[in-house]
Amino acid sequence: MIRLSIFLIILGAAVVTLIPRVAPLVLLSRISLPENVVRWLGFVPIAVLAALLAQSVAMPEGRLSWPPENLAMIAVIPVLAIAVRTKSLIGTVAGGVAVMALLRWVLG
């Protein structure tokens, strides 16, 4: 009985997770969206990533932290320049790792 309950809970969680992900794909695959909407939707991942990064950079330990304790705030400027110049995710991540390593080495 307990195994059936656990199985039904897992199945229910899978269905509840799957519906919001599959339904838009199924519905939107049958219609064509206006160009403005498609262009607007292209900015959604960037906006979500920026919001997540801003919070993790400004509040690394759950509270607002300023430089010099918060090296990530210092690293944002050169990493943003790398991202704009290279337009490469791998290059930006590698540059971010290098900048943080350098800052930790220099500023401790």
* Domain encompassing residue 67: 33-107
Q: How many domains does the chain have?
A: 2
Instruction: Tell whether 41 and 86 lie within a shared domain.
Output: yes
Instruction: Tell whether 65 and 103 lie within a shared domain.
Output: yes
Instruction: Tell whether 38 and 89 lie within a shared domain.
Output: yes
**pLDDT digits over 22-74, tens only?**
988 888 888 888 999 989 989 998 899 889 888 888 888 888 888 888 899 99
Instruction: Tell whether 90 and 37 lie within a shared domain.
Output: yes
Instruction: Tell whether 47 and 98 lie within a shared domain.
Output: yes
Instruction: Tell whether 55 and 19 lie within a shared domain.
Output: no
Instruction: Tell whether 40 and 89 lie within a shared domain.
Output: yes
Q: Average the pLDDT over 71-93 and give the result.
A: 92
Measured CA to CA in angstroms, residue 95 lies from 8, 27, 55 at distances of: 46, 40, 20
Question: pTM score > 0.85 for this model?
Answer: no
